[in-house]
Amino acid sequence: MSYNVNFAVAAPLQIEQALCWELERIRLSKNITQAQLAVQAGVSVRTVRRMENGEGVSLETFIRVLTVLGGRERLASLLPNPPEDSPAGLTLDGYARQRARPGKAAPDTSTTEPREAGSNGSTAADLPEAGRSASAAEYTPDSRKPETEIRWKNRRDSVSGIPDWNPAFSETEWDQSLNARIEELEFDVIVEAPRTAEENLALDETLLYAVAERRRRPVFWLWDWAERAAILGSYQSVGAEFDPAVAEREGFRFARRISGGGAMVVEPQRTITWSIIVPESVVEGLSFRQSFAYLDMWAVRALRGMGIPASYRPINDIVSPVAKIGGAAQCRRRRTVLHHVTMAYAIDGAMMWKLLRLDKERTSEKAVPSAVKKVSPLSDFTDMSHAVVRERLAAAFAGMHRTNPSAVTPDEWADAHARIATKFATDEWKYRVR
């Protein structure tokens, strides 16, 4: 897009548009696509498009994009020279340098859990328990799209241009422009053999960091269970939720996962679990409850394609007309989202109530109680076997997204087994909230 602006007399908005269009010109001259620029700058493709349309972006985003395009040195003329008496000086990073203090190690980001969300849609650190208030929106179905893809007409958008969630909607209904975020990605699809609970949970964390550190593309991986287990969310209390002695007597392993949310009972041939691991830019601007629905959109469509009457119930449930089919939980680290879902293919309700203390109040300030919800398993709605449903889900995801068949590498398995030994199999981790 061309521009002709006299910066001496132009209005601020005209200058902003000219600067954004100049970045587009530089990008095109370097033969860089919008998707490539978004990945390298750590922003969404939608943000790049808004910028190049002259709609404006934050100063931080502008600097990120300018840096990728090799124009950061142009900022030097706006900054004073570093003072001679400053031992550290200033750099274009925008901060004074910091020196490490002897005897004080930096925090280990591999074990910290800054943001985790589950059944209450909030994080342990920074989200209010009541969640985010919603505003009403008008919408009209687009007959050219599946019924779960609805075009919003809400003009009360946030700064990011993303409509607020409307609690009146029970489906995953979104402005279709959001679909481009997923369409720009290329996923590694991993369909795993049955594994122990600790292997599955450790591998989930291994793959999360592999994506965060760009050693892997975004990942969709389908778990399978080799043993019966009762698995607590990261912040759940053992005493309030679960009796390990009962589990051992009934042949269930006790484990704890890295994501938030409630307890789950899993069994071979009875449980279906998958994870989606994507850059945080995919859900940029969305609240946690919005991100749950957005990342579950494909599954609702896939289940309906199998003749299963699935729909979505905020905050994080996939449901049938009868009751809950499955629920999601999340963990976010290093600007990467781990979103996983567990669904019941078949269920022993009496055993679940025996294992989980669903009638007890929380006994720890940090504890997150399991939601007492009736569960309707998939087998109530289909004659397809557990194995066929798993295959159909994997095929549906591959049919809706750009994907590559993949497998866990030997190095990733080595990392996962190291995490089992140092974390997931330890009492320190399993009893972190008593």
pLDDT at 231: 93
Peptide bond into 308 cis (omega under 30): no
**Which pair of structure tokens corresponds to residue 213?**
């550190």
pLDDT at 345: 96
- Count the neighbouring beta carbons within 10 Å of the beta carbon of residue 156: 9
Average pLDDT over residues 65-71: 85
Q: Are residues 137 and 227 in the same domain?
A: yes
Q: Are residues 71 and 136 in the same domain?
A: no
Q: Does residue 184 have a pLDDT over 60?
A: yes
- Residue 276 near residue 331 (C-beta atoms within 8 A): no
Q: Does residue 329 have a pLDDT over 60?
A: yes
Q: Are residues 140 and 238 in the same domain?
A: yes
In a domain, 399, yes or no: yes
Q: Does residue 357 have a pLDDT over 50?
A: yes
The residue out of 78, 106, 134 marking a domain boundary is 106
Give the 3-state secondary structure of residue 298. Answer: helix
In a domain, 290, yes or no: yes
Residue 402: its H or E element: strand 402-405
Tell me how far apart the alpha carbons of residues 157 and 146 are, in angstroms, rounded to a whole number: 24
Q: Are residues 129 and 99 in the same domain?
A: no
- Count the neighbouring beta carbons within 10 Å of the beta carbon of residue 70: 10
Confidence band, pLDDT 50/70/90 cuts, at residue 327? very high
Domain extent, residue 59, equals: 9-106
Average pLDDT over residues 73-101: 47
Task: Tell me the CATH number at 74.
Answer: 1.10.260.40
Instruction: For the chain, give percent helix, strand, coil, nearest 5.
Output: 35, 15, 50
Confidence band, pLDDT 50/70/90 cuts, at residue 111? very low
In tens, the pLDDT along 45-60 reads: 878 887 887 766 788 7
Q: Are residues 49 and 25 in the same domain?
A: yes
Q: Are residues 128 and 268 in the same domain?
A: yes
Give the 3-state secondary structure of residue 231. Answer: strand
pLDDT at 70: 85
Give the 3-state secondary structure of residue 79. Answer: coil
Q: Are residues 92 and 183 in the same domain?
A: no
Q: Does residue 431 have a pLDDT over 80?
A: yes
The residue out of 47, 81, 106 marking a domain boundary is 106
State the chain's mean pLDDT as an integer.
Answer: 75
Q: Are residues 64 and 138 in the same domain?
A: no
Confidence band, pLDDT 50/70/90 cuts, at residue 130? very low
pLDDT at 373: 52
pLDDT at 116: 58
pLDDT at 115: 52
In a domain, 17, yes or no: yes
Task: Tell me the CATH number at 152.
Answer: 3.30.930.10
Tell me how far apart the alpha carbons of residues 117 and 131 are, in angstroms, rounded to a whole number: 11
Q: Are residues 43 and 124 in the same domain?
A: no
Tell me how far apart the alpha carbons of residues 18 and 418 are, in angstroms, rounded to a whole number: 52
The residue out of 61, 86, 106 marking a domain boundary is 106
| DSSP code string of 245-287 | HHHHHHT-EEEE-SS-S--EEE-TTTEEEEEEEEEGGGGTT--
Give the residue carrying structure tokens 């790049």.
48
Give the 3-state secondary structure of residue 138. Answer: coil
Distance of CA 221 to CAs 61, 273, 341, 395, Å?
Answer: 31, 9, 11, 12
Confidence band, pLDDT 50/70/90 cuts, at residue 147? very low
In a domain, 2, yes or no: no
pLDDT at 407: 95
Confidence band, pLDDT 50/70/90 cuts, at residue 270? very high
In a domain, 288, yes or no: yes
In a domain, 4, yes or no: no
Q: Are residues 42 and 180 in the same domain?
A: no
Task: Enter the pTM of the model.
Answer: 0.62
| Number of domains within the chain | 2
Q: Are residues 76 and 222 in the same domain?
A: no
In a domain, 319, yes or no: yes
Strand order in the sheet with 264-266: 253-256, 229-232, 264-266
Q: Are residues 81 and 120 in the same domain?
A: no
In a domain, 1, yes or no: no
Confidence band, pLDDT 50/70/90 cuts, at residue 358? low
